[in-house]
Amino acid sequence: MTARATTDSSTDDGALAAAYTRGDEQAAAELVHRHAAAVGRFLYSAGADAGDVDDLLQETFFRAFRRLDQWGRQASFRSWLFGISSNLLRDEFRRRKGRRMFSLEDRDIPDRSDPHADLAAVETEERLRAGLGRLPRLQREVFLLRVNEGSDYGQIAAALGTTPGAARVHYHHAVKKLKELVR
């Protein structure tokens, strides 16, 4: 199989993973290209600091490629990556427990024609992000996978090690709590 054939967009993730295990570095690059943006959005939305997202994303792929033989393929490759990144983020939160740094630059409000609307949007975003941080881990992760990635409950269950019914319940509770916070 040539490098060109392994990076064809019609090639599925399983074939790319198999090609990588045979030494095809282009296959790994294609897997990263396909999934990095979605995993990065998931990490940031789940509460990772913007400055840490790249490091966590890189570590997610390092771990995935080292443990490629552990991907059972019952879940999609992306769902499996979400599970790895979720575990990494949980470890990061434990490691930093109680320590949080904020950049003043992140709090600057852009100069636009309607500063009141911009301020209201920033405040709502901050309340939502803070609310996400207060949700129990499974509620937060189910909500983010459903909203940001459009994952169905079966995919969410596979990624997070739960059942589709439990994922539905977690999503319902997360939405209810976040609506209360944003009001």
Instruction: Give the contacts of 113 (CB within 8 A, at least 6 positions apart).
Output: none
pLDDT of residue 138: 84
Q: Summarize the confidence of residues 30-38 as an average pLDDT.
A: 94
Coil/strand/helix, residue 136: coil
pLDDT of residue 58: 92
Percent of the chain with pLDDT over 70: 84
- Please, what are the domains in the chain? 10-97 (1.10.1740.10), 115-183 (1.10.10.10)
- Mean per-residue pLDDT over the chain, rounded: 80
Q: How far apart are CA 4 and CA 96, in angstroms?
A: 43
Q: How far apart are CA 23 and CA 18, in angstroms?
A: 9
pLDDT of residue 97: 67
pLDDT of residue 26: 93
pLDDT of residue 112: 53
pLDDT of residue 64: 93
- Going by pLDDT thresholds of 50, 70 and 90, the confidence category of residue 107 is very low
Distance of CA 1 to the CA centre of its chain: 32
Span of 6-10, 47-51, 67-71 with lowest mean pLDDT: 6-10
pLDDT of residue 109: 47
pTM assigned to the model: 0.58
> Which letter does DSSP use for residue 104 in this model?
S
Q: Are 138 and 160 in contact (CB under 8 A)?
A: yes
pLDDT of residue 122: 78
How many Å from the N-terminal Cα to the C-terminal Cα in the chain?
56
Q: Please give, one letter per residue, the 3-state secondary structure of 23-54.
A: CCHHHHHHHHHHHHHHHHHHHHHCCCCHHHHH
5 vs 56: which has the higher pLDDT: 56
Residue 99 has pLDDT above 80, yes or no: no
Q: Summarize the confidence of residues 26-45 as an average pLDDT.
A: 92
Instruction: Give the contacts of 98 (CB within 8 A, at least 6 positions apart).
Output: none
Distance of CA 178 to the CA centre of its chain: 18
Structure tokens at 40: 């990065």
Q: How far apart are CA 105 and CA 179, in angstroms?
A: 28
